[in-house]
Amino acid sequence: MRYLMLIAGQAADYATADMSDCPTWRDDMLRRGVLLACEGLVAAAEATTVRARGDAVLRTDGPFAETKDQIGGYALLECADLDEAVEVASTDVERRFLTKRMLGVRSRSTRSSS
């Protein structure tokens, strides 16, 4: 099953973090065959929110969530079950000070079957 691991923390956590060992975890998980994708995200202040309202499309700066934690990255995992996904998240010691939220991914085809 696929799991989306959202990596979240406060802005101060990211500012003081030493992420130099992150490639080690990424390479280890690639070798294990459980990591499908892993990326960092721009700061929330640089993001854009898009909302459709009838025929109008609203585009605003943000998101500016009512929370101190901001999502700073993600990893898409292919694991046997949630227990394995949690184990994979726990081995990410380079980002141990950040919260990791595990979300199961529902598989839906995004390609036409022509």
Domain layout of the chain by residue ranges: 2-104
pLDDT surpasses 70 at 64: no
Query: pLDDT (tens digit, 9 = 90+) per residue, 83-108?
Result: 999 999 998 866 777 888 999 998 87
Counting every residue written for the chain, the total comes to 114
Model pTM?
0.77
Q: In the 3-class helix/strand/coil scheme, how is 42-86 assigned residue by residue?
A: CCHHHCEEEEEECCEEEEEECCCCCCCEEEEEEEEEECCCHHHHH
Query: Residue 76, Cβ neighbours under 10 Å: how many?
Result: 15
- Tell me the fold of 2-104: Alpha-Beta Plaits (3.30.70)
Contact 76, 4 (CB under 8 A): yes
Angle at 71 between CA 102 and CA 26, to 5 degrees: 65
Residues 31-53: what's their mean pLDDT?
A: 89
